[in-house]
Amino acid sequence: MPDRERLLIASDLHANSQALSACLEALQGRYSAILCLGDLVGYGASPHPVLEWVQQNAQTTIRGNHDRAALSPNPPTEFSALAATAANWTHSQLSDEEHTWLGTLPAGPLVWNNQMILAHGSPRDENEYVSDTQTADEVLRDLRSTYGVPALCFFGHTHLQGGFELLKHGARPLAFEDRAESLSCRWGEGLLKRLRLSPEQTLLINPGSVGQPRDGDWRAACAIYDIANAELEFYRIPYDLASAQRHIRLAGLPEPLAARLEFGR
């Protein structure tokens, strides 16, 4: 294991065990603890291995809206038809023990180790999407008011890797270092981008989605926070896409749930 604290931040796994396995293989030995930001299930066809891994390995897990939806046969009214169908299927597949465990997951925001805030959607509402600078500005100002400075919040829900920083005149998207590093992975070429942190920042950080990215890049997304070096590493990891799609089709889930994985949408 690494000799300093390095946190693997994973969100929106969405029952995609193929994507999760590829991330773990590619990042083996690079992290010392795991934090999950919710939506372990939904959309994908492999909830059991994903839930088993999270239960056995994650130090802290908060719930997502799809985790909450899987507890009931009646999905939330705001769900799309695809999301509702997947939620119904997931509910029918889970064991009593899995339902019970999902029901124990805390909702965000959760302060972890007095160092950072964990949320699914946003620290204001687990269903809120933070994907534009106006919304980010409001959330960041709330963060600074509630938690002081510095404030570091990891969130998911949008399936978009990146985040926002609060400056004097408002929020702006995070700017990665110019240099990106290629990673050699079993299923193709991966990518690593770095972001240096500085004191007194107020930040919203999204590691992206492991199981269903929506930024036009089909590769699984996650991040590692190197606490000692104040550095974030954002990863894109290729995985066995065809297998994940095949499992969705064999489960009888809607075809668009399989097709969209290929396009990162």
β-partners of residue 61 are: 36
Given this model, what pLDDT does residue 148 score?
82
Tens of pLDDT, residue by residue over 49-71, are 999 999 999 999 999 999 999 99
Place of tokens 């989605």: 209
Place of tokens 């959760």: 110
Place of tokens 């942190």: 197
Nearest to 22 by CA among 238, 245, 209: 238
Q: What are phi and psi of 183, to 5 degrees?
A: -120, 135
Given this model, what pLDDT does residue 4 score?
57
Distance between CA 207 and CA 188 in Å, rounded? 20
Could you write out the DSSP letters of every residue in the chain?
A: --SS-EEEEE---TT-HHHHHHHHHHTTTS-SEEEE-S--SSSSS-HHHHHHHHHHH-SEE---HHHHHTTSSS--TTS-HHHHHHHHHHHHHS-HHHHHHHHHPPPSPEEETTTEEE-SS-SS-TT----SHHHHHHHHHHHHHHH-SSEEEE--SS---EEEEEETTEEEE----S--EEEEETTEEEEEEEEE--TT-EEEEE---SS---SS--SEEEEEEETTTTEEEEEEE---HHHHHHHHHHTT--HHHHHHHHHT-
Angle at 185 between CA 46 and CA 155, to 5 degrees: 55
Distance between CA 264 and CA 217 in Å, rounded? 5
Residues of the chain with pLDDT under 70: 1-4
Given this model, what pLDDT does residue 179 score?
77
Domains of the chain: 6-263 (3.60.21.10)
